[in-house]
């Protein structure tokens, strides 16, 4: 209630100022800018000032006195007058400012969405289309960074054919195959068992953990397999179903209505796993584990902190296999249990299926948008292009060369085992206020090359230090590269789809209801409250999918797919 009252007050105060400001802003004299040749610095022959509104995180004290802002001003000749808005109020402020008609030359760090771009760009014409700047002539660093994001420029393009923003180009290598399963290695060692590679071997190992007391306390207190329904890739089914059919299903009811709900590409057509016989076989396998007490019965109700308690709270280790995006999802970082879990590769299923789910690393849209009324678009684009270079990204994110980071020493290796590119001299910290950097990469490119080029100590796998937290980035990289990448199916994952405002209005409720039904039914089949082995129950479920307009949703997705990717 108080918030509403405040907004009304702010709007009331803004109106008179707006009317005045529009008069002065319209003066064209400010547009006379003399530029230097493209690709050179400074950008302008005599200094100019542009107004940029920035969403300010608590860890940056003042963008106008910030050392990196000053560095950019000296290099480019472009002085930015930053208008700072607290990060958490950014979305509200954007709407207010755009409604007022009096707005700055550009907005930085607002994370403006596709829908907002459609609204303010396509429909209202307030945002400038940036298509011409997406070229090596104008923005060589941006375009080079895009080489690591295939299809990324298409992703940035609105349905009207325009590109309205600059991206954040961040790639998280290990996140791209995040549906992982881990095993407590001392249990396998104690039982004299190898890491399972097939569904049948997996079942045998689960049985052995349950019945052969690998923690040696004389009690049958072992939990062979556990996960959680809420938490970053803590879902056992997202790992196990992929031994039967490619399936990205996340049963968390709050997950997306289009992504992570079992849709897949089938020879260029958008299809779904969730009405296929192989999906049913996968659910039946998980149900069997559940019935036999091999799968922890809280796995479809608890969250990741409860999962962590389950793994950590007992005096002796009890949990054999755990699902999670990484070890920190279910164990205490640096603890003995954390240090002893090992990722395992996707298991080969009865018909040879063995898949790793793909999580496309899309560009972050809406990091910089330019007002269609600004006379300084050329300068602003050239100013931001520098930030997509390796050096620009490191300066913006980490700090100054020689203080926060340095180019790598000869002979050192990066996370990927290739010659390192850079090394960190200080710990990156986005909690404590400082005024050296922007910390947050609003418009920049922490690409996989940059991240994997971080110099690390070359610790051998047999060295006990390898699995300790200090070496975690390296472990994440190695596990992903060796165990998951070989099985990822980029051809089967549906790329991110964009819907028109009209389509969203018509179908978002339909999509949400269908997704909820798929998720709830899958859980019921796995825990046995719906009998997956009963043909009538299964057929009723499949009929329910059609009743909730699965064919309509597939057709809608196909239309969006053809529009973007054909």
Separation of alpha carbons 26 and 40, rounded Å: 30
Residue 220 CB, nearest distance to Ca ion (Å)? 6
CB of 215 to Ca ion, least distance (A): 4
CA angle 380, 53, 117 (to 5 degrees): 75
Closest contact distance (angstroms) between CB of 307 and Ca ion is 19
For residues 28 and 127, what is the distance between their CA atoms, to the nearest angstrom?
A: 19
Nearer to Ca ion, 221 or 531 (CB): 221
Question: 221 vs 391, which CB is nearer to Ca ion?
Answer: 221
Smallest separation, CB 221 to Ca ion (Å): 5
DSSP state, residue 482: I
Shortest CB 192 distance to Ca ion, Å = 16
Binding mask 184-213 for Ca ion (x = CB under 5 A): -----------------------------x
Closest-CA residue to 388 (of 146, 36, 137): 146
* Min dist. Cβ of residue 288 to Ca ion (A): 23
CB of 336 to Ca ion, least distance (A): 17
Residue closer to Ca ion, measured from CB, 221 or 303 = 221
Kindly tell me which of 121 and 214 has the beta carbon lying closer to Ca ion.
Answer: 214
| Least spacing, CB of residue 190 vs Ca ion, in Å | 10
CB of 301 to Ca ion, least distance (A): 24
Q: Are the CB atoms for 215 and 187 separated by under 8 Å?
A: yes
Of the candidate spans 51-59, 215-223, 284-292, 386-394, the one that interacts with Ca ion by CB under 5 A turns out to be: 215-223
How far, in Å, CA of 468 to CA of 445, rounded?
28
- The smaller minimum CB distance to Ca ion, of residues 157 and 217, is found at 217
Q: Which is nearer to Ca ion, 219 or 547 (CB)?
A: 219
Total chain residues near Ca ion (CB under 5 A)? 5
| Complex with Ca ion: residue 158 or 215, whichever CB lies closer | 215
Please identify which residue in 217, 435, 449, 552 interacts with Ca ion, judged by CB under 5 A.
217
CB of 526 to Ca ion, least distance (A): 26
H or E, element range at 473: helix 472-479
Options 178, 215, 361, 371; binder of Ca ion; rule CB under 5 A: 215
Residue 217 CB, shortest distance to Ca ion, in Å, is: 5
> Which helix (H) or strand (E) segment is 82 a member of?
strand 78-86
Between 66 and 215, name the residue whose CB sits nearer to Ca ion.
Answer: 215
88 by DSSP, 3-state: which? Answer: helix
Of 314 and 559, nearer to Ca ion (C-beta) is 314
Residue 285 structure tokens: 């396998």
Binding status of residue 485 toward Ca ion by CB under 5 A: no
For residues 1 and 315, which CB has a smaller minimum distance to Ca ion in the complex?
Answer: 315
Interface pick for Ca ion out of 221, 252, 436, 503 (rule CB under 5 A)? 221
Residue 68, SS3 per DSSP:
helix
Contact present, 306 and 298 (Cβ < 8 Å): yes
DSSP notation for 433-470: -BSS---S-SS----HHHHHTBEE----TTSGGGGSGG
Give the residue with the Cβ less far from Ca ion, 213 or 513: 213
* Cross-strand pairs, 48: 78
Q: Minimum distance between the CB of residue 209 and Ca ion, rounded to whole angstroms?
A: 9
By CB under 5 A, residue 513 contacts Ca ion: no
Q: At a CB cut-off of 8 Å and minimum separation 6, what does 141 contact?
A: 385, 386, 387, 388, 389, 392, 445
341, containing H or E segment: strand 341-344
Q: Which residue has the tokens 């992570």?
A: 260
CA 192 – CA 324 distance, rounded (Å): 25
x-or-dash string of contact with Ca ion, 6-45, rule CB under 5 A:
----------------------------------------
Contact call for residue 219 and Ca ion (CB under 5 A)? yes
By CB under 5 A, which span of 221-229, 488-496, 500-508, 532-540 interacts with Ca ion? Answer: 221-229
Which candidate, 364, 225, 362, 371, places its Cα nearest to that of 285?
Answer: 225
Provide CB contacts within 8 A for 274, sequence distance 6+. Answer: 247, 249, 261, 262, 518, 522, 545
Q: Go through the chain and tell me how many residues it has.
A: 566
Query: 104 to 143, contacts with Ca ion by CB under 5 A?
Result: none
In a 3-state reduction of DSSP, which class is residue 262? Answer: coil
**Distant-in-sequence, close-in-space partners of 123: CB < 8 Å, separation ≥ 6:** none
Nearer to Ca ion, 314 or 449 (CB): 314
Q: Footprint of Ca ion on this chain (CB under 5 A)?
A: 213, 215, 217, 219, 221
């Amino acid at each position: 209630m108080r918030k509403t009252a405040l907004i009304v007050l702010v709007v009331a105060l803004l109106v008179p100022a707006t009317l005045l400001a529009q008069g002065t802003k319209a003066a064209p004299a400010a547009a006379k800018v003399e530029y230097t040749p493209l690709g050179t610095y400074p950008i302008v022959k005599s200094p100019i000032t542009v107004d940029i509104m920035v969403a300010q995180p608590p860890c940056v004290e003042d963008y106008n006195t910030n050392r990196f802002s000053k560095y950019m001003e000296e290099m480019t000749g472009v002085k930015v007058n930053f208008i700072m808005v607290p990060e958490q109020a950014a979305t509200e402020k954007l709407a207010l400012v755009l409604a007022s008609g009096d707005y700055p030359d550009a907005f930085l760090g607002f994370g403006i969405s596709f829908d907002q771009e459609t609204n303010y760009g396509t429909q209202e014409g307030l945002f400038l289309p940036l298509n011409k700047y997406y070229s090596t002539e104008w923005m060589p660093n941006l375009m080079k960074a895009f080489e690591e994001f295939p299809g990324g420029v298409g992703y940035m393009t609105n349905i009207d054919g325009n590109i309205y923003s600059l991206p954040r180009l961040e790639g998280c290598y290990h996140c791209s195959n995040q549906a992982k399963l881990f095993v407590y290695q001392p249990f396998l060692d104690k039982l004299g068992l190898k890491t399972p590679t097939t569904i049948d071997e997996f079942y045998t190992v689960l049985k052995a953990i349950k019945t052969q007391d690998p923690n040696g306390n004389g009690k049958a207190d072992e939990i062979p397999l556990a996960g959680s329904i809420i938490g970053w890739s803590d879902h056992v089914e997202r790992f196990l179903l992929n031994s039967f059919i490619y399936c990205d299903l996340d049963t968390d009811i709050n997950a997306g209505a289009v992504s992570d709900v079992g849709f897949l590409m089938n020879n260029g057509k958008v299809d779904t796993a969730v009405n296929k016989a192989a999906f049913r076989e996968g659910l039946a396998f998980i149900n069997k584990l559940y019935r036999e007490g091999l799968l922890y019965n809280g796995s479809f109700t608890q969250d990741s902190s409860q999962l962590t308690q389950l793994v950590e709270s007992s005096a002796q280790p009890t949990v054999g296999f755990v699902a999670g995006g990484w070890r920190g999802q279910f164990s205490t970082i640096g603890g003995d249990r954390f240090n002893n879990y090992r990722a395992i590769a996707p298991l080969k299923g009865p018909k040879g299926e063995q898949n790793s789910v793909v999580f496309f690393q899309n560009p972050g849209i809406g990091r910089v948008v330019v007002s269609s009324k600004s006379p300084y678009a050329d300068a602003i684009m050239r100013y931001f292009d520098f930030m997509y270079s390796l050096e620009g990204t490191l300066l913006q994110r980490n700090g100054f060369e020689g203080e926060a980071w340095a180019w790598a020493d000869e002979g050192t290796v990066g996370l990927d085992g290739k010659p390192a590119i850079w090394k960190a001299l200080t710990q990156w910290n986005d909690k404590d206020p400082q005024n050296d950097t922007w910390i947050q990469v609003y418009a920049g490119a922490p690409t996989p090359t940059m991240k994997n080029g971080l110099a690390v100590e070359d610790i051998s796998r047999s060295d006990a230090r390898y699995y300790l937290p200090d070496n975690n980035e390296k472990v994440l990289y190695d596990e992903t590269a060796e165990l998951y990448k070989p099985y990822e199916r980029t051809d089967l994952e549906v790329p991110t789809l964009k819907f028109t405002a009209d389509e969203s209005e018509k179908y978002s409720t339909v999509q949400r209801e269908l997704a909820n039904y798929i998720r709830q039914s899958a859980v019921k089949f796995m825990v046995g409250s719906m009998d997956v082995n009963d043909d009538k129950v299964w057929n009723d479920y499949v009929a329910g999918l059609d009743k909730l307009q699965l064919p309509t949703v597939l057709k809608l997705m196909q239309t969006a797919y053809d529009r973007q990717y054909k």
